[in-house]
A and B are shown apart, each in its own frame.
Chain A
C-alpha cells in the first residue's frame, strides 16, 4: 500500500533520513520505533508532504506522493495525526472536526463519521462547542485522532499518540488504534513507548540516526535482545 524506497531528507544541511526504505501493507499496523532524533517524525513528515525528500521515492497505491501537495496527499487517503496533537486551541471541538472533513463532498458519510468519533470518544460530544484549547491532554489526543478520522484515512500516520498521557488514557488510546485497524484503517505508528507499540503492531521497523537498523514481526522484535536492551528497558 505504502512503499518508501531509499528516502533521503534534509533539514537545511542536516541529513536527517539517510536512505530509509520501508513498506506498509493494507490492513497492517506497522510500528516505527527508535530513540530521540532517530528520524521517526521526519519519516512521517516526508510521507505527508510537509518535508520533501532530496532523493528516493514514496508511493501510495502506485501514486508518487512526492508529486503532491500536503492537502492533496490527505485527499488520497494518507492522513497524518501529528506529534504534540497540534489541535487548533482557539477553534471549538466541533470546528476542529469539521475542518478535517472540509475537503470531503460526501455529506452523509461525514455526518456518519462524526457520529463514529463521538461514539469512540463520548467526551468530545459533550464538549463539542468548547474551545479545544480548554481540553485536557488526553482529551486533546482524542480530538487529534477524531480529527484524523474525519479526514477519512485509508492509511493513518500516528505520531506519538501516547506522549505525556496518563497510563489509563494511553491504554484507551491504544484500544482505539486497534479498533480502527479492525475497521480497515491501515496504520503507521511512531512511538517512543516501544513496549506499547510492539504490543499492538503486526510488524515494526527500528530507526537509528536516520537509518532502518532492524525490521521484522513485532512479536519477534519484542523478544530481540538488542531491542530489549535499547528500547524496552532491558
Chain B
C-alpha cells in the first residue's frame, strides 16, 4: 500500500495544505507581532477572497491570474479598512478589547455573507487547464497543486525579501520587537501597521482563492477552520515569528496529511484532535513555539 508513488502523492498533498496554512499563518503572526492582537477575523479574509474569485470567474469571466490578483489587492484594502475602523480606535486599550472586536468583525463577515449570499456552498469552477494532471511515471499531479505550491513559495520568498531588505520591513521587525522604542526612532507606527494589515489580509485573500479553487466550494464559513489551524501553525512556529509561521504551516500540513495517510482508517476522523494534541506537545516542550523567542521586553 505504501508504494513510493503513494508516498509522493501524499507529499504533494502535504505541501499543498502546508502552503495554504503557511500563507494564512504569516498574516496572523505579523499582526500579532506588532499589536499583540490575535485576529480572529483573519480566516474570514480567506472567505472574502474566495467569493471575489468566484464572482471574478463566473460573473466577469476573468482569466485565472486576474481572479487571483484582484481579490488579493481588494482584500488587502479590506484589511486596511478593518484596521482603521475596528482596531485603531482601540489602540492603547487593554489587548483583550481588540481581540473581542476581531471576533465581532469575524461574526459580522460570516453573518453578512450568509444574509447576502445565503449559507449555500457555491461551486467554484476553475479553468480546465488547471485541473489537468501531469504524469510523472506512475505519479500524476494536478497543475493546480503544483501551482499552489509554487505560488505560495514565490509569495513567501517575496515577503522574506521585503521584510529583510526594505526600510519598512526593517521598521516592521523593529515594531514587533519594541513598539515604543520604534516610535522614539521616528518610525510612524500607523504606517507600519497599515502595511502589516495589507500584507496580512492580501496573503489570506490569496490563500482563500487557492483553497476554494482546490476544494471547489465557497461558503460564508469556509475561512473559520483554516483560520483556526493557521493560528495553531503560528503558535507551533512561535507566534510573532514569520519564519516560524511558515515552518508551522508546513509542519501542520504534513502532520494532517500523513496522519490520515498512515493512521488506521477508523482513526482518520480524529485528524483535528491529532493536530491539537500536537500543539499541546510542542507547547509543553517549547512554550514559545519552535522559532519563538519568548515575550520580549516592551517597557
Interface residues of A (CB under 8 A from B): 48-50, 69-71, 74-75, 79-82, 84, 86-91, 95-96, 98-100, 102-103, 147, 151
Tell me the bound Cα distance from A86 to B296 in angstroms.
11
Q: Considering the complex, give the chain A residue whose CB is closest to the CB of B293.
A: A90
Q: Name the residue on A nearest B184 (C-beta).
A: A80
Rounded to whole angstroms, the CA-CA distance of A71 and B185 in the bound complex is: 7
Give the shortest distance, in Å, between A217 (CB) and chain B (any CB): 30
A91 touches B188 (CB 8 A): no
- Set of chain A residues within 8 Å of B167, measured between Cβ atoms: 98-99, 102
Contact flags B176-188 to A (C-beta < 8 A → 1, else 0) = 0110111111111
Tell me the minimal C-beta distance from A100 to chain B in angstroms: 5
The main secondary structure of chain B at its interface with chain A is helix
* Residue pair A88, B174 in contact (C-beta under 8 Å): yes
**Are the CB atoms of B184 and A90 closer together than 8 Å?**
no
Distance in angstroms from B188 CB to nearest chain A CB is 5
CB of B104 within 8 A of chain A?
A: no
A–B pairs, 28, beta carbons within 8 Å: A48-B184, A49-B183, A50-B184, A69-B188, A70-B184, A71-B183, A71-B189, A74-B185, A75-B186, A79-B186, A80-B184, A82-B180, A82-B181, A82-B184, A87-B181, A90-B293, A91-B174, A95-B170, A96-B174, A99-B170, A99-B171, A99-B182, A102-B167, A102-B171, A102-B186, A102-B187, A103-B186, A103-B187
A184 → B minimal CB distance (Å): 20
Shortest B68–chain A CB gap in Å is 32
CB distance from B213 to the nearest CB of A (A): 36
Q: Are A74 and B170 in contact (CB under 8 A)?
A: no
A99 touches B177 (CB 8 A): no
Tell me if B173 counts as interface (CB < 8 A to partner A). Answer: yes
Q: Which of B170, B171, B181 has the most CB of A within 10 A?
A: B181
Chain A residues with CB below 8 A from B178, complex form: 86, 88
CA distance A48 to B187 in the complex (A): 13
Give the docked Cα–Cα distance between A90 and B297 (Å). 13
Contacting pair A71 B181 (CB below 8 A): no
B296 (CB) vs chain A CBs: closest residue:
A89
Residues of chain A contacted by B183 (CB below 8 angstroms): 49-50, 69-71
User: Would you list the 6 A-B pairs with minimal beta carbon distance, nearest first?
Assistant: A74-B186, A70-B183, A86-B181, A103-B186, A100-B185, A71-B188
Say if the beta carbon of B284 comes within 8 Å of chain A: no
Identify 9 new A-B residue pairs, CB closer than 8 A, beyond the known A50-B183, A79-B186, A151-B186.
A71-B187, A80-B184, A87-B181, A89-B177, A89-B296, A91-B170, A95-B173, A95-B174, A151-B185
A151 proximity list for chain B (CB < 8 A): 185-186
B window 179-233: CB within 8 A of A: 180-189
User: Across the interface, do B173 and A103 meet the contact criterion of CB distance under 8 Å?
Assistant: no
Chain A: minimal CB distance from B15 (Å): 29
CA distance A86 to B183 in the complex (A): 12
Q: By the criterion CB–CB under 8 Å, are A99 and B187 in contact?
A: yes
Say whether A103 contacts B180, CB under 8 Å. Answer: no
Bound Cα distance from A75 to B185, whole angstroms: 9
- CA–CA, A82 and B178, complex, Å: 12
| B177, A88: Cβ atoms closer than 8 Å | yes
Measured CB to CB, the closest approach of chain A to B30, in angstroms, equals 15
The distance in angstroms between the C-alpha atoms of A6 and B180, with both chains bound, is 25
Q: Which residues does chain B contribute within 8 Å of A69, judged by CB atoms?
A: 183, 188
Residue of B nearest to A151 (CB): B186
Query: Shortest CB–CB separation between residue B195 and chain A, in angstroms?
Result: 13
Return chain B residues, CB-CB under 8 Å to A98.
167, 170
A69 to B177, CA, bound (A): 20
Bound CA span A149–B138, Å:
64
Assess whether B177 is in contact with A90, with CB atoms less than 8 Å apart: yes
CA distance A49 to B185 in the complex (A): 12
Chain A: minimal CB distance from B265 (Å)? 45
CA A71 to CA B182, docked complex, whole Å = 9
CB distance from B194 to the nearest CB of A (A): 14
Q: Which of chain A's residues have a CB closer than 8 A to the CB of B273?
A: none
Q: How far is the CA of A99 from the CA of B188 in the complex (A)?
A: 11
Q: Which residues of B sit under 8 angstroms from A80, Cβ to Cβ?
A: 184
Considering only CB atoms, which chain A residue lies closest to B185 in the complex? A100
Kindly state whether residue B116 has any CB partner on chain A within 8 Å: no
Q: Which residues of A contact B182 (CB under 8 A)?
A: 88, 99
